[in-house]
Structure 1
Amino acid sequence: MADTLRCDVAIIGAGTAGLAAERAARSNGASTLLIDPEYRGTTCAAVGCMPSKLLIAAAHAAHAASSAAMFGVNVGQVTIDGKAVMQRVRDERDRFVRLTKEGIEEIPASIRIKGRAAFTAPGCISLDDGRQIDAASIVIATGSAPFVPDEFANLGERVLTSDSIFELEDLPGRLAVIGSGAIGLEMAQAMARLGVAVTLFDKGERLGGIRCDKVHAALKDILADDLDLQLGVNVAASALDDSICLEWSGASKGRADFDYILVTTGRPPNLDSLNLSASGLELDDDGVPVHDRQTMRCGDSAVHLAGDVAQDLPVLHEASHDGAIAGRNAAAYPAPVKTDRFTKFSLVFTTPAVARIGQSEDEGVVTGTADYSDQGRARVEGKNRGVLTLYAAAPDGRLIGADLCTPGSEHLAHMLAWAIQQDQTASQLLTMPFYHPTLEEGLKQALRTICAATPIALPDSQDSGAPSGA
């Protein structure tokens, strides 16, 4: 007879969300089992946030060196050692993974169960070695994986994904990037600034999910300086002896050979092995269990979701928040506790970074835009390119969202996300101190536009100081 393992909460998946769920459930008094087939570390450490930022850091260094002449600083010919770049990426990546695994190993061994779980009936799961799991509630945190469309799937090792690109021993000479989401944009620009000839392809015309036309135009112009953009095209691929040939048509037509193609066409949730047909859960059109984001609970069941598998907001801070909510509610089952969610906030680490926060234009919304082409501090730094747009609700100018592509936008975006989450108005932000000269001063132009369009005007005496362009 198969062994039966018993617990209050079973967590399937030991990534960022699963670890947060296990920690939350156990801290709320529940007995837990953490189930994972590999315990390879988190997506962030192994193939996501950290290795990509290591490559981007190298690109920053290369670009800074090659741009130094504008300041009268002559560094001579900039050369890039591709093998050294990729080796550092892997060395530091492996350190992050090792530290993550060491953290996992601090979880008691009796809780860490190695195996692949699947549903056998509603609320019932078993492992691939035959063991049964008797749990009062379940958290699914199985993450996501790169999607490779059929037209690229059989082209061999020259097709890369975000899971494999960091294993390259050297930088390629020619790289095609398929898809203009966050991963595609980051990798395309970083590779281009490291001397790789990069072409980015997308069926759509929009980069990075930017909502504002002015912000999108700014990003498009900036990227076009580094790489070839082919938007609104369909691509056909064929394998050659030592390269891949791409032909494209649509908004433009062309043909070119590449050493590798990086496919960044999304990361669907890892659900296939769970046998959800036996779970009794209601599924949406994408096959994801329908759930309440304030509790992460699936209907009235004892099953909860957390992280990328939920397909809500596939970013680390949301995965961690998902896990904490799911773990706490799994421990409290059947009495769910609703949690207010963070303001929606995503970053794309291009240079400058792209930020998308909260809501966008809608009925009753006023906007304010700031152009950084003549912003004082940005011009001092030689980085005076980019635009931001703020969205505010009428009639009081309460901030509800923003799109940014400006110098320092990853930091400006945090400040704006905090202000939006605290229901602050444009006039309230203008009463705050703005040190001179800083990139933050550039916000004033957009904030003043919103104040001018709302009945609650800011007295001049409350908005003093040097103009943002000074």
Structure 2
Amino acid sequence: MEKRTVDVAIIGAGTAGMGAYRAAKAHTDSLVLIEGGHYGTTCARVGCMPSKLLIAAAERAHDMAGAAQFGIHPGGIRIDGEAVMQRVRSERDRFVGFVLETVDDMPAEHKLIGDARFVDAHRLIVNDDVEITAGRIVVATGSRPSIPDMLKEAKDRLVVNDDIFEWHDLPASVVVFGPGIIGLELGQALSRLGVRVRMFGRGGSLGPIREQKMRDYALKTFRREFELHPEGDVKAVERTGEGVAVTFVDDDRGEITETFDYLLAATGRRPNVDQLDIQNTDIELDNRGTPRFNRYTLQCGDSSIFIAGDCNHDAPLLHEAADEGRIAGDNAGRFPDVRAGLRRTPLAVVFTDPQMATVGLTLDEVDERCKGGYGVGEVSFEGQGRSRVIGKNRGLLRVYGERGSGQFLGAEMFGPAAEHIAHLLAWSVQRRMTVSEMLDMPFYHPVIEEGVRTALRNLNRNLSIGPEVIKHCMDCGPGA
């Protein structure tokens, strides 16, 4: 067996692993990056980038179908499924190519392909033929889809998001399980591209939305486009000669069975730590077998093992994985001089239409922090000027602030331009701005962001700081 000794070993070459490699390399050139699958990162291959390509096609189709409200009547709309998926795959491969170029630039001795497992806290076996002794180890193995046993009865017609982007054409029908971020984004996109979609959930959740008022509004909106059961009562899933038969209880028709071409399981992801033999180390594990760690240093206890990215199940988002990889790699490189890194304000965006966004603290977290001493501001985009002009006047924004200090703490949004508005709000939270300071910032007219001002004015009033909100305030322009 080949034996190697390095200062730092990194398991996983995704977003977190690549970030850890770059950070650790600033301290030492004695390191190895171990990858058990394909180079290219989850985001580029099967995550954020290919899903947005599919969504972009769906948005074009939807805009054409809705052009009549502007007095524009396009001819018959034809969706070429093969062309849609060809562009998705082609552009996806381009994004993956950028990652592969980065990997190619790494020294050959820094790269090792194979599955790693722990022998102890400092030794790894890779593919049963290489033993690596490392002073410090970064675990950045990502996550994989988690599929309930019932859904596995779909057999060869069971797909996850990874599989969809390999399709060469669009199917006629898809049943989606899981109205989380992945399920909602892909389900709505497929529906807008002419695929018959029915979606089931459990527990009533919709994406990252926590507030019931927002959830009810979003549910009503999505149901205008496709069948959605956030608390679905599914009795059976069966692979038949025609596809996948799903038996469920309908509120109006009782127990019925419908058949679909495919079943998309968007039922969450699980950390890739269960095949690492991590129990052979001396670090503490939680009841799921995931290492306990400090989220500011990414260190597991006081050991020389660090964990970053989706595999720690803390904040499975690309920008968080990049930050965690950088922090973990820097600390692994400088060990034992472990330092706390910057964890940014929580920010999540869902690219449905309307978009969803969560920023800063949730309402429950606000209540816990402020002991009830907080206020909520709200705006509806149904009458908001710019939103009505462009025909995107659906949605709500709710913003939270602390009584006394007037500090802005967070927001939840289901509405137009949420991907942009969420950034402005996240920056405000991170800068610890007060609601009054935010209202002192410039707002142009007419823009969707004027709705943010309306919500903030409402919040300032509810915090007993600002004046009554003037209905149809003309200093904002009509419809602001």
Per the alignment, residue 47 of structure 2 pairs with: 48
Whether contact under 8 Å (2:296, 2:340) holds in the other structure is yes
Displacement of 1:163 after TM fit? 1.2
Per the alignment, residue 242 of structure 1 pairs with: 242
Q: Which structure 2 residues correspond to residues 219-258 of structure 1 after superposition, within 5 A?
A: 219-235=218-234, 236-249=236-249, 253-258=255-260
Deviation per CA, 1:392-423: give whole Å up to 9, x if none: 11222211111001111110001000101111
Displacement of 1:464 after TM fit? 8.6
Whether contact under 8 Å (1:218, 1:385) holds in the other structure is no
Displacement of 1:356 after TM fit? 1.1
Per the alignment, residue 184 of structure 1 pairs with: 183
Residue 365 (1) aligns with residue 364 (2): no
SS at 1:120 equivalent: strand
More off after superposition, 256-265 vs 161-170: 161-170
Residue 447 (1) aligns with residue 456 (2): yes
Q: Which amino acid aligns with 2:457?
A: R
1: CA distance, partners of 2:286 / 2:189: 36
The TM-score with structure 2 as length reference comes to 0.94
SS at 1:237 equivalent: strand
SS at 2:143 equivalent: coil
Whether contact under 8 Å (2:446, 2:477) holds in the other structure is no
Residue 32 (1) aligns with residue 42 (2): no
Pick aligned residue for 1:407 from 412, 416, 419: 416
Displacement of 1:154 after TM fit? 4.1
SS at 2:293 equivalent: coil
Change (3 A) 1:459 1:242: closer
Change (3 A) 1:253 1:446: farther
2: CA distance, partners of 1:158 / 1:222: 29
Per the alignment, residue 305 of structure 1 pairs with: 307
Aligned identity (percent) is 43
Q: Which amino acid aligns with 1:469?
A: G
What is the root-mean-square deviation of aligned Cα atoms in Å? 1.8
1: CA distance, partners of 2:468 / 2:228: 46
Structure 2 unmatched ranges of 5 or more: none
2: CA distance, partners of 1:334 / 1:250: 59
Per the alignment, residue 428 of structure 1 pairs with: 437
Whether contact under 8 Å (2:461, 2:468) holds in the other structure is no
Displacement of 1:250 after TM fit? 8.0
Residue 214 (1) aligns with residue 213 (2): yes
Whether contact under 8 Å (1:7, 1:134) holds in the other structure is yes
Whether contact under 8 Å (1:39, 1:101) holds in the other structure is no
Whether contact under 8 Å (1:142, 1:309) holds in the other structure is yes
Over 4 Å off, 4+ runs:
250-253
Per the alignment, residue 138 of structure 1 pairs with: 137
Displacement of 1:279 after TM fit? 1.6
2: CA distance, partners of 1:55 / 1:420: 32
Q: Which amino acid aligns with 1:22?
A: Y
1: CA distance, partners of 2:463 / 2:98: 51
Q: Which structure 2 residues correspond to residues 162-201 of structure 1 after superposition, within 5 A?
A: 162-201=161-200
Pick aligned residue for 1:274 from 264, 273, 276: 276
Q: Which amino acid aligns with 1:437?
A: P
Deviation per CA, 1:309-347: give whole Å up to 9, x if none: 010111100000000000001111112101231111111
Structure 1 unmatched ranges of 5 or more: none
Deviation per CA, 1:68-127: give whole Å up to 9, x if none: 111112211111011111111111111111221111111111101112111011232121
Whether contact under 8 Å (1:347, 1:410) holds in the other structure is yes
Displacement of 1:195 after TM fit? 0.8
Per the alignment, residue 93 of structure 2 pairs with: 94
How many equivalent pairs are there? 468
Whether contact under 8 Å (1:28, 1:331) holds in the other structure is yes
2: CA distance, partners of 1:453 / 1:265: 38
Deviation per CA, 1:268-318: give whole Å up to 9, x if none: 011122111212221112211000000000001100011000101111000
Per the alignment, residue 343 of structure 1 pairs with: 345
